[in-house]
Chain A
């Protein structure tokens, strides 16, 4: 299966600022995804990022708040904009590797907004 490097692993940010999270995959993948896991909650899909097209956002998530880039088949970024304490969460990127492996996930970014 693919290996995904995600950074930063954690950050503490001031409210009103923005943070960009990066994910690098060691092989080319068509579909990449961004998830959020709030404390005590399940993984919630934020958006799907396919190379060469606009990201597709799930209900409750908008591009202005979570802009995504997918410049090539091995890389994607998620920006959390104009942060508030409610954005404190773990953010995970993943890639669909199909077959027996389903999703491969990055190690996550633990974001705390103060």
Chain B
């Protein structure tokens, strides 16, 4: 299985901040990486796929980059509704695996 390491696990930030979350893979996965946002008590929602393609309806302040083993999710100007937990997920090989999550909390 491909393992991923997300960092940081917890990120304290303020509204308006630029934040970045990292996802490092145990082996190369080309661009077969997705990012999800999960709010408390809710199901995850797909934000980005193919490492950098925004899912329809996702605000442009979200962006993704990277390929191979190192990937980044960036929120350019944090809004109140962005405080949530973010997960990366690889779909290069089976089993599909998720990162352990990064909680973005209010500073």
Is the pairing of A and B real?
Answer: no
User: Which A positions have Cβ atoms within 8 angstroms of B?
Assistant: none
